[in-house]
Amino acid sequence: MKIGGIDPKLLPPEQVLVLPRGDSEIVLKARGLPDMDEFSKFCPDPKPPVMLTRQGQKANLNDVGYQQREAEQAKRRWAYIVVKSLEPSQIEWDTVKLDDPATWANWDADLKAAGFTATERNRVFALCLEANSLDERKIQRAREVFLAGRPEAPSDSTSLSTAPPTTPSGAPASA
């Protein structure tokens, strides 16, 4: 599939965060995830327990254990988004293993152990959020780039829009 000659499967642009370190910089790159299929394979959504009512069986969404599993799933999902989005940075994690969901939440602890401040870790998280969002600023920028590249539309008339003050002979032009 192409839209206007563009393949939508092209990778989204990377978002970049540059953090100063003495005379050097640490460059972190994040790219938005195309889908959450891999996450779903590793971590299927928890199922609520079933309770029996007069109307038959019904999912018990108020079960405390189910709500805890849902909260843990949400934390794992965000951790997955962070570690997968940061893959273009080629980070050599200390405790995070991409194939082990139990370690994904260690991304913050690994960055902290590496010497990143709380503010820097928050910026890393914000970088991942930015890479996975499509906000009005990004849409407006794309629109401006698109419109700037379009040629100006020809006017409806090819005649002069104003009368010249003089004729080529130098005599005043008649109205």
Q: Looking at the domain assignment, is residue 83 inside a domain?
A: yes
Q: Looking at the domain assignment, is residue 91 inside a domain?
A: yes
Q: What is the pLDDT of residues 154-173, one digit of tens each?
A: 555 555 556 666 666 666 66
The pLDDT, as a whole number, for residue 10 is 72
Mean pLDDT of 39-65: 91
The pLDDT, as a whole number, for residue 144 is 86
Tally of domains in the chain:
1
Cβ-Cβ contacts under 8 Å for 129 (sequence gap 6 or more): none
Q: To 10 degrees, what angle do helices 118-131 and 64-85 make?
A: 90
From residue 65, alpha-carbon distances to 8, 69, 85, 109 in Å are 41, 6, 30, 26
Q: Looking at the domain assignment, is residue 87 inside a domain?
A: yes
Q: Looking at the domain assignment, is residue 108 inside a domain?
A: yes
Q: Looking at the domain assignment, is residue 116 inside a domain?
A: yes
Q: Looking at the domain assignment, is residue 65 inside a domain?
A: no
Q: Looking at the domain assignment, is residue 1 inside a domain?
A: no
- Residue 31, domain extent: 15-44+73-141
pTM confidence score:
0.73
The pLDDT, as a whole number, for residue 174 is 64
